[in-house]
Amino acid sequence: MRRADPRASDEEIRDLLGSMVLDRGWLEPTTRIGVDGRSLSGGEQRRLQIARALARQPDVLLIDEPTTGLDAATANRVLAAIRDRLPNTALVLAIHELPQDRGILGPAWSSVSLD
């Protein structure tokens, strides 16, 4: 996380980890996870990458399949956290399965089907 924001406090990192549902268990701000988080599961790696992107507060964020492999409740929490933390960011998300509650994506959300 400190690669994304070297000034981030432990509390800010805990908050980001919690928003990505990575606060359940052993993962703490000081936990060493190896190169690119290889000790984490695929879903945990993906959520850690998203948390790093959120820490940078980008103006535009492209995310491919942010919810792959997540249960519906966790997927909704992750999508809501992305929108909540980046209210003024232009988001482009490639998602195969849209959330049932599209309100979590914000009022200006639109979708394009590539079927």
Label residue 35 by pLDDT band (50, 70, 90).
low
Which pLDDT value is given to residue 68? Answer: 86
Q: Is the pLDDT of residue 87 over 70?
A: yes
Which pLDDT value is given to residue 64? Answer: 92
Tell me how far CA of residue 7 lies from CA of 2, 3, 14, 70, in angstroms.
7, 9, 14, 30
Locate the domains of the chain by residue range: 10-105
Which pLDDT value is given to residue 103? Answer: 77
**First-last CA distance in the chain:** 36
What's the CATH superfamily of 10-105? Answer: P-loop containing nucleotide triphosphate hydrolases (3.40.50.300)
- Tell me 24's DSSP state: S
**Element housing 84 (H / E):** helix 72-85
pLDDT, average across residues 19-42: 74
Which pLDDT value is given to residue 63? Answer: 92
